[in-house]
Amino acid sequence: MRPTAPQSVRECINEGCRVRFPAPTDFADTRNCPFCDDETIEVGPVQLHPPRHPARFTTPIEVVVDNIRSAHNVGEILRTADGAGVTHVHLCGYTAGGDHPKVRKTSLGAEGSVPWSRSMNALDVIDRMEKRGMRIWALESTPSSETLFSGVLEASPASTPPGLVLVVGNETAGVDHAILERAERHVELPMAGEKNSLNAAMALAVALYWVRSQETPSL
């Protein structure tokens, strides 16, 4: 998010610290170092670059967010959905709505730019998506799951693809087993460390942008 006040780069004069950081030029408390409380000096302006024109994607993508406990995760998902050109976000079960204060805090306004709706039961949403001919992918590690990067998003035989639905489930319980049974693919992210998964919002962001990498956006 771009700052609303003028910013400058400041540097601590303490030779044992020398921390360098951006700070609003009109805030008096930034004159002192946040680590050692010594004096700081302005060493240059913050260089801001104008935003690029919005990218245009062609594949319709919708997201089903089922029983996510963290409202902050929901806000992050809406912000990512805005950037990735998601057509609609379905907030299901006890997932917080886009009007929740904690969601708005992290979505930074994306709750107003991305179409979203609430549904008590994610299976009802899946029913509607299947009737529209959309492909259902569950972002989940299962005995039959495959690495997200193992293939490509094959084109639909129709001239206008009906689109793709990505489903992300509860942080601990995962995607509902009934949705897994109806999903075309179970996809997971390869994990090289000791942890077996990423934060739900982060994992969905990786998946969305991998799908978008299959097409060349117009800028």
| CATH number of the CATH domain containing 92 | 3.40.1280.10
Same domain (yes/no): 127, 170:
yes
pLDDT band at 159 (very low <50, low <70, confident <90, very high): very low
The whole-number average pLDDT for the span 20-41 is: 81
Residue 175 lies in a domain: yes
Same domain (yes/no): 108, 187:
yes
Same domain (yes/no): 202, 132:
yes
Residue 1 lies in a domain: no
Residue 105 lies in a domain: yes
Instruction: Find all residues with CB under 8 Å of 96, minimum gap 6, and list them.
Output: 68, 71, 74, 102, 103
The whole-number average pLDDT for the span 61-80 is: 97
Give per-residue pLDDT as tens, 170-218.
999 999 999 999 999 999 999 898 888 889 999 999 999 999 988 766 5
Q: CA–CA separation, 87 vs 163, rounded Å?
A: 10
Cβ(141)–Cβ(188) under 8 Å?
Answer: yes
Per-residue 3-state assignment (H helix, E strand, C coil) for 147-164: EHHHCCCCCCCCCCCCCE
Per the structure, the count of domains in the chain is 2
What's the maximum distance between 2 C-alpha atoms anywhere in the chain? 67
Q: CA–CA separation, 186 vs 138, rounded Å?
A: 5
**Tokens standing for 130?**
């299947």
Query: Cα dist. 19→10, 40, 77 in Å?
Result: 8, 9, 33
Give per-residue pLDDT as tens, 100-124.
999 999 999 999 999 999 999 999 9
pLDDT band at 66 (very low <50, low <70, confident <90, very high): very high
Query: What is the value of pTM for the model shown?
Result: 0.84
Same domain (yes/no): 95, 132:
yes
Residue 218 lies in a domain: no
The whole-number average pLDDT for the span 5-19 is: 89
Residue closest to 113 by CA, chosen among 137, 84, 82: 82
Query: Cα dist. 77→30, 90, 138, 144 in Å?
Result: 32, 11, 16, 26
Would the pLDDT of 142 be above 70?
yes
Same domain (yes/no): 203, 116:
yes
Same domain (yes/no): 97, 38:
no
Query: What was the pLDDT predicted at 219?
Result: 53
Helix, strand, or coil (residue 41): strand
Same domain (yes/no): 35, 96:
no
Same domain (yes/no): 73, 35:
no
Same domain (yes/no): 101, 28:
no
Q: Count CB atoms within 10 A of the CB of residue 145.
A: 17
Query: What was the pLDDT predicted at 4?
Result: 55
Residue 66 lies in a domain: yes
Residue 2 lies in a domain: no
The whole-number average pLDDT for the span 112-137 is: 95
Same domain (yes/no): 70, 25:
no
**Bridging pattern class, strands 20-24 and 146-147:** unpaired
Same domain (yes/no): 18, 120:
no
Domain span holding position 172: 61-212
Query: What was the pLDDT predicted at 31?
Result: 75
Residue 186 lies in a domain: yes
**Bridging pattern class, strands 40-45 and 7-12:** antiparallel
Q: Which helix (H) or strand (E) holds 211?
A: helix 200-212
Residue closest to 118 by CA, chosen among 102, 97, 138: 97
Residue 13 lies in a domain: yes
Cβ(137)–Cβ(184) under 8 Å?
Answer: yes
Same domain (yes/no): 27, 101:
no
